[in-house]
Amino acid sequence: MDHKNLSYYRAFFKTPPLWIGELEGLRQFVLPELNFENLEMGRLPSNVRLGHKIEHIFLKLIQHSTQYNVIAHNIPIRKEKTSLGEIDFLLQDVDSHKFMHVELTYKFYVVTGEATKIECQLIGPNRSDSFLAKKERIVNHQIPLLRTPEATSVLQGLHITASELLHRVCFKSQIFIPFTTREVDLAPFNSDCICGRWIPLQQFKSPWFLEQRYYLPSKPEWLLEPHQGVDWLGHNEILDLISIGLENKKSPLLWMQSADFTIEKLFIVWW
């Protein structure tokens, strides 16, 4: 078994849901317990975006479970030649035989501290997406999509009655709080999602950071818990590596090792 490959599946599985139960009508899909020892996973697809890797991981985990059957996934819905959207996953519960639509989302969010309501503070590290925008899309587009005549027709072809379909979200997240903040009240979100901190580039150039060691993980490695088995670089070396990305408004994620050998995740943001 490819243990390095397996670590991505475990990391996805262990990433906490952004909330527990239901939030504003969106109910979390709870992943079934899984035995990773005999997981038939195949190789993670290369040369695809992280989002597609995550879809592959979710698919393999559900196929490996004894609780659900995968009926279909990534199903395009079209009106004549126009795309209306895509259905992420259609599952069937083995025991109850009920059908379920699962919308899969995995997000990296920084808590900005800029707004009063916490749901307005969760934004992507490049400021190009936000929790509010994603929630609106699920509520106003993804779920209503399944009630369109075009989707109803597709579901009928799979012997699913649209009105009986359960809607769930598998919404997992890694959340990063400001570097100088010790505690953030995330309620109603899940505080277990906090897994690192973030800092603006200018602050990252201050003296304390010159003494630490760094590693620039690949995008798939963003899923993983930081560990010692990597080649650590000094501050100047890591600045050279990340400067072009920052100029292009791409905030890198680093692993930072302190003098006491503790490691944490740190986003360096361009804004």
According to the model, what pLDDT value does residue 107 have? 98
According to the model, what pLDDT value does residue 46 have? 80
State yes or no: cis peptide before 32, omega within 30 of 0: no
Model-level pTM?
0.94
Give the span between the Cα atoms of 39 and 1, in whole angstroms. 9
According to the model, what pLDDT value does residue 44 have? 81
According to the model, what pLDDT value does residue 3 have? 65
According to the model, what pLDDT value does residue 157 have? 96
**Contacts (Cβ under 8 Å, ≥6 apart) of 155:** 90, 146, 161, 162, 165
Give the span between the Cα atoms of 129 and 209, in whole angstroms. 28
According to the model, what pLDDT value does residue 181 have? 87
DSSP, collapsed to helix, strand or coil, labels residue 21 as: coil
Whether the CB-CB separation of 200 and 269 falls below 8 Å is answered with: yes
For every residue of 113-165, DSSP letters joined together read --SSSGGGTEE-TTSS-BHHHHHHHIIIIIHHHTTSHHHHHHHHHTT--GGG-
Whether the CB-CB separation of 60 and 26 falls below 8 Å is answered with: no
> Could you read off the pLDDT of 22-31 as tens digits, one per residue?
999 999 999 9
Give domain limits for the chain: 3-174, 188-269
Cα within 13 Å of Cα(232), Cβ side:
18
First to last CA, the chain: 42
According to the model, what pLDDT value does residue 2 have? 61
Q: Which ranges of the chain have pLDDT less than 70?
A: 1-3
